[in-house]
Structure 1
Amino acid sequence: MQLTSIVIDDEPHAIAEICELIEITPGLSNLESFESAGDALDFLKNAAPVDIIFCDISMPNVDGLQAAGILSEFCEFLVYITAHRFHGPETYEVNASGYLLKPLKYDKFIRQIKELQKIKTEALWAGPQDETIFVKGNDKNSVLSINSQDIIFIQGLDNYIKFHTTNGEKTTYMQLKDLDATLMKKNNYLRVAKSTIISLRYLEKVDGYVAYMKTGEVFNIGKVYRPAFNNLLHQRRLN
């Protein structure tokens, strides 16, 4: 099980320490490192979600706990790495997936990663779920019901989003960046361009950096989104 990560810590030597452990940990690769939560968010808003965010707690301006709500929108697992033992209860309150103490010990680090890999693997191979999402309709008080399994791809157009489904097109007046983050964290959806999210359920094949859908659509995979796209395909390949 291959997982992607980013690291957030205001101390460069701490970043180096974490990255060294990541490099020697099978099934884990770090995409970027940042010295502030703000810089990390700027990156995440223009990239696909990552599996793990390793985050320090005590940082200037916005600390790791204050940033938990928005960071969680862009990752599957939020793991805190801190030198302070007394933050444990607070990390549980923000639903963190892990709490590791500095200086990092590799046995505890690898134990944490294996646990997250197990959770991710079980989620990937779980049976399909019939999930319904609700979005605003064309009228002020209208709400549209969409079965997420019917979504082929989602297209962002100015101030509205168009859902292309097996039952036709449905439009909601919101921006693609405001789309419920829980949809983006589902394993069957992946952003291939700034204005396009596709469902892997309807992906026919990938040739180079071109995605061919079973329904006939063809999408070029943007440079920014290729690492996450390749990572997900690697996770699911049988050979």
Structure 2
Amino acid sequence: MLDQAVITVMTWNVCTGTNAACELYRRSPQELAWHISDHLLGDPDVIFLQEFCTGATGTLEQWLEWKTGRSWTVRSWGLTTAQGRPYDCHPDRNGRPRGAQSVTVAVADHAAAFETVPLTSPPWFARRAALCATIPAVKVRACGTHLSSGMANDDAQRGAPYRHKQVRQLMAAAPKAGHTSVFGGDLNLTPGRVAAYRSYDECDPRMRWTYVKKRKIDYLFAPKGRVLRCWVDREARGSDHLPMAVRVAL
């Protein structure tokens, strides 16, 4: 049960959708859910996932409940292409579809209202959004996202204009009056370029890398003075990112 005085939020880009270089690529919903539930940092109350697959949402909910003994609600928002079609995960190794590549938020114990917040995205590539969960019982609003990348076919222009606009939109979507705001995910930006540092504390400011290229591009932000602890799981395998978690005072 969620301690009324604190909340722990975890984020992980699980890299299962389209990147053949990752071990979790084309894994079945059961394999993916097992792997995630086996890497829960700090007994999280909220989980942000990126490069998940919408078709595994229900399976993940079941595995989290079995693994933790808590009730969970899991929601996913599937990315779309520039033409508005689902940005599909590649099928599993038996050729079965897995839905669209997604931003996913899981909430333990309490009822939550979920909201999808569209983010301004390059018109020639994938549409992005933040997925926010408002949890009235503990007065928390938690928003997870996966911003555009610096790949040549995405937000590759000098200065990363779309990613910076998306960060500002995420920061505008995260606050809710009377609630503690926690937000983050895979922002695809290095620490010195993330505007949120001016208004929020980050659980592991500018230090430990979270991405296979020894860069930090994954983040969790909370109101200033509220961050109690941060974890980064150096032993995790399967993805090109590492899971991280933050504990926040409410």
Shorter-chain TM-score above 0.5: no
Compute the TM-score of the two structures, normalised by the length of structure 1.
Answer: 0.29
Greater share of helix = 1
